[in-house]
Structure 1
Amino acid sequence: MTNENFNTALNNVKEAWKYPELFQNVSRTERWLSGATGTYLLFKGITSLFSHPVIGLTGAAIGAGLLYRGITGYCPMRDLSQQQDENIEPDEIIVSEIHKVNDLG
């Protein structure tokens, strides 16, 4: 992760902390469970990184995602599924009458 990506993620967390009503789509109970589980998986992933690198890296990545979800209260996957459930369609123009004008000139 580059320094710019880290700063962007940190700014997103700060904004979500300041204005929770704009970003939250996860309930309080889910936030607590995600935070606790994410912390545990991140810790276990980091501690087992040298003995089992693939499992440790996977656990750390999943733990970091759950910890982010728990801290911010925002889940991008849930947001995406809610947008697909609402069937958001683009604006359409419905033509109900057609007028034909004869050009006499």
Structure 2
Amino acid sequence: MDPRGVAQPGGGPRLVAYLMRAEQMDDFNSQFLGFGTTTDAAPATDERIQDMQEFYDDGRFYLGPSQLVPLAIPLANHVQSMVLGADLRSTLAGVDADWARLAFRA
């Protein structure tokens, strides 16, 4: 769906279709040390990440705790504040408040 009054109606879906073409995804992944997310994606060719391919293919990887926090909670902002010297107690209270707000909406 395009926003009203957009200059090129239908452009959004065409752009997504273009970006999701195998050759586009494979080219992007090869340039930026990425792994393909489709079953027919090209394998990694850069020697820096080639050894990780089998773990990725088998789903034997972990994204880390930061990826488990919903995007509605600005965890990176809170962490940055703490690293830069913000008051720990008030920053963690803010994190708690974010979780409470999210839980209340659910």
Question: Which of the two has higher C-alpha Rg?
Answer: 1
Q: TM-score range by the shorter chain?
A: under 0.3
- Provide TM-score, normalisation by structure 1: 0.25
Richer in helix (by share)? 1
